[in-house]
Chains A and B, each alone.
Chain A
Amino acid sequence: MNKTKLFLYDFITNQKIKKYIVVIVLFFCAAFYFHKSNPEWMPGASAMSNIGLSIAFLTTMYSIFSYSTMDRIKAYLMLPCKKSEVFFSFVFAQYFSLLLERMSFVIIVAAFFVKTPITIIIYLLLSALITVMLDTTFLLSINKKKPVFATLSLAIIAGLYVLLTYSKNVIFNFSVLAVMLFISAAFVMMFEPKHLAIKRESKVKSNPFRRVNYFLVILTREKIVLVNTAAIVVVAGLFALISKETPFLSGIFWSIIAVNTPVTTMFSGDKALMRQEKMLPRHSRFMTGIYGTFLGIYFTIANAYVVLLFALLGRLSIYVILTGIVLAAIETGISLLLERKYPIRSWQKKQEVWRNPRKYILPIIVFIISFAPYLLNIT
């Protein structure tokens, strides 16, 4: 067996490559047409680098945390492979998947619309590789309970953002990226491959949510759900700080809160739970009620948080409060409807559930609802 492909086939299949090639070609054509029609449209180089970095950082984090909970990874880790081979294979699989499925689109945009495309594309490729290794270090350090390395990884990623935003010196940037690449590779090699397999959370004697709602327990216990929710809270907070008071940005602000895919796919993402639910009687009312209650609690808290942010920014109004209340109800209803009537069934890895296009339905609806009063001029 080619050891570099140890993990690869779990992420990439020939069918997937063919599908993405078609999509990339179509995207390329669309970008070409748009460029011809709008030759003056030119986003900043640092903006492109930051968008690429954000996509690489967040999606890879998603990918590795979901992948590492799978039992099959243990079967790979028990094979007689060297540490360097295992880590190389893991990083290679993540990097290849990242380039094919996400970064290729950013690279196409950079190629057409940035003044110095070659430099930016090389920045994107290097920063993506560094990010994959730092995300891997983050996973390893969380599993090994070495928070120092997790903190250092996040600090280096923050440094990457600063570098790509403010520094215009190409030679300096490449030098720093090379050093970061070396450090991130060294970080990964300080761990053992066995820590790639995530352990479910340690034993907890009592969890106050257990009696209240099973899904609340998952929210507070599953690392990926917790990390994702925390990331949404942070991103929403940051977005609130930088966004000006425009209807468009406010709409995006509300929509960010609605994009918690692990929360809105708790049934689809748990085949065993779906099987139990189908087997048990009173399924339609019983589990739906529990999940609906959970979604109601989650979206009420999430929208209350947005209202609070508006208040802290001095932009609170009766319209904002009403929007929060209406959206909490609508988000609960739509999420429940989608999960119960249109569950995502055909998947091998959980990340396929989270990447399913169904995830965009709720934020789009939320955006339209929050934007509609401005269009109708009733605010």
Chain B
Amino acid sequence: MLTIEQITIWYKQGKNIIGGTSLTIDEHSVAGLLGINGAGKSTLINTISDVHEKYTIEKTMFRGVTFKFTDEIFKLERYTVFTEEQAFMYWKFDDYIKFVAKAYKKKLDTAYVDYLVEGFHFGEYKKHELKDLSTGNRKKVFLITGFALRLPLLILDEPLDGLDFSSSEFLYEAINGYKQYGSVLMSSHIAESFEKTCDYILLLNNGKIERRQIMQGADIRTQLEEWLNE
């Protein structure tokens, strides 16, 4: 579905965070983005989301069409939930989700939104302004919005941060269920999250991205640790 070829990303010229590497995300799949702290996971996600601007790229294809991260046509096909979100603090959940739906020209399936709200145990917080919500509940606003849009590509940057146990379990369910609408690119530090949701792993190590397959039956922690220590 999404192919990015030879992407190089930096903050300071000459000091590349990611250096000339490629990646592919399949249709209707969940890709796990794995890397140690500082490997460049969030930077990569910010770049794809058109937030980070210091990069070069050889070729990008989305569903067979060449595009740029800045293109409106691509932006309409993806939504990103960032690790930490502090925007629109004076809005409530309904204000934000309606605003975003309008931006994406989407009519939301209210039954699906209700399902997400209930699954994340968010109902009682819908009437609170975002600034009054805890870290976890604030995260749910953006997660529910992301899932509810049902776009071809949903990008989640460390979505488990701040979520309680039952919400984490529901998140796994929602990610797996999302494959019927599109693909998910998820970065995480939680081994269990890769095991429970991902079809494959994009290992980000020393500025390069390699695709790995999780071996069923083997201990997930051991596998991930071995990859990270390579």
- Contact residues of A with B, CB < 8 Å? 200, 203-205, 207, 210-211, 214, 217-218, 221, 270, 272-273, 275-276, 278-283, 286
Does any Cβ of A come within 8 Å of B57's Cβ? no
What residues of chain A lie closer than 8 Å to B102, measured between beta carbons? 286
Interface residues of B in 41-69 (CB under 8 A from A): 49-51
Does any Cβ of A come within 8 Å of B227's Cβ? no
Are B103 and A205 interface neighbours, CB within 8 A?
no
Q: A280-B75, A282-B103 are in contact. Are A275 and B82 (CB under 8 A)?
A: yes
Are A214 and B88 interface neighbours, CB within 8 A?
yes
What residues of chain B lie closer than 8 Å to A286, measured between beta carbons? 102-103
Of chain A, the residue at the smallest CB distance from B84 is A272
Partner-contacting stretch, out of B2-10, B26-34, B126-134: B126-134
What residues of chain B lie closer than 8 Å to A281, measured between beta carbons? 72, 75-76, 103-104
Of chain A, the residue at the smallest CB distance from B85 is A272
State in angstroms the CA–CA spacing of A276 and B132 once bound together: 19
Are A203 and B90 interface neighbours, CB within 8 A?
no
Interface residues of B in 79-98 (CB under 8 A from A): 79-80, 82, 85-92, 95
- Give min CB distance, A15 to chain B, whole Å: 17
Are A276 and B88 interface neighbours, CB within 8 A?
yes
A sample of 12 more A-B contacts (CB under 8 A), given A200-B132, A217-B90, is A210-B92, A214-B88, A214-B95, A272-B86, A278-B50, A278-B51, A279-B50, A279-B79, A280-B100, A281-B72, A282-B75, A282-B103
Are B90 and A280 interface neighbours, CB within 8 A?
no
Of chain B, the residue at the smallest CB distance from A280 is B103
Of chain A, the residue at the smallest CB distance from B95 is A210
The listed residue (B51, B72, B89, B95) touching A279 by CB distance below 8 A is: B51
- Give min CB distance, A197 to chain B, whole Å: 14
Q: A210-B95, A281-B72, A286-B103 are in contact. Are A276 and B128 (CB under 8 A)?
A: no
Are B91 and A210 interface neighbours, CB within 8 A?
yes
Top 7 closest A-B pairs, CB basis? Answer: A281-B75, A272-B87, A272-B86, A276-B87, A217-B90, A279-B49, A273-B87
Of chain A, the residue at the smallest CB distance from B53 is A278
Are A221 and B51 interface neighbours, CB within 8 A?
no
Q: A203-B129, A205-B127 are in contact. Are A275 and B103 (CB under 8 A)?
A: no
* Chain B contact residues: helix, strand, loop or mixed: loop
Interface centre among A210, A278, A279, A286 (most CB of B within 10 A): A279
- Give min CB distance, B83 to chain A, whole Å: 11
- Give min CB distance, A284 to chain B, whole Å: 9
- Give min CB distance, A247 to chain B, whole Å: 41
Of chain B, the residue at the smallest CB distance from A284 is B72
Q: A210-B91, A286-B103 are in contact. Are A279 and B80 (CB under 8 A)?
A: yes
- Give min CB distance, B166 to chain A, whole Å: 25
State in angstroms the CA–CA spacing of A358 and B23 once bound together: 42
Of chain A, the residue at the smallest CB distance from B73 is A281
- Give min CB distance, B137 to chain A, whole Å: 14
The listed residue (A211, A218, A278, A279) touching B90 by CB distance below 8 A is: A218
What residues of chain A lie closer than 8 Å to B92, measured between beta carbons? 210
State in angstroms the CA–CA spacing of A278 and B70 once bound together: 9
- Give min CB distance, A42 to chain B, whole Å: 50
11 contacts between A and B (CB under 8 A): A200-B89, A210-B95, A217-B91, A275-B51, A276-B85, A278-B49, A279-B50, A280-B100, A280-B103, A281-B76, A282-B72
What residues of chain A lie closer than 8 Å to B87, measured between beta carbons? 270, 272-273, 275-276
- Give min CB distance, B161 to chain A, whole Å: 16
Are A200 and B131 interface neighbours, CB within 8 A?
yes
What residues of chain A lie closer than 8 Å to B88, measured between beta carbons? 214, 273, 276
State in angstroms the CA–CA spacing of A221 and B72 once bound together: 33
State in angstroms the CA–CA spacing of A275 and B142 once bound together: 14
Q: A218-B90, A273-B88 are in contact. Are A203 and B128 (CB under 8 A)?
A: yes
State in angstroms the CA–CA spacing of A205 and B90 once bound together: 11
Q: A214-B91, A278-B51, A281-B103 are in contact. Are A203 and B132 (CB under 8 A)?
A: yes
What residues of chain B lie closer than 8 Å to A278, measured between beta carbons? 49-51
What residues of chain B lie closer than 8 Å to A205, measured between beta carbons? 127
State in angstroms the CA–CA spacing of A275 and B102 once bound together: 18
Of chain B, the residue at the smallest CB distance from A71 is B86
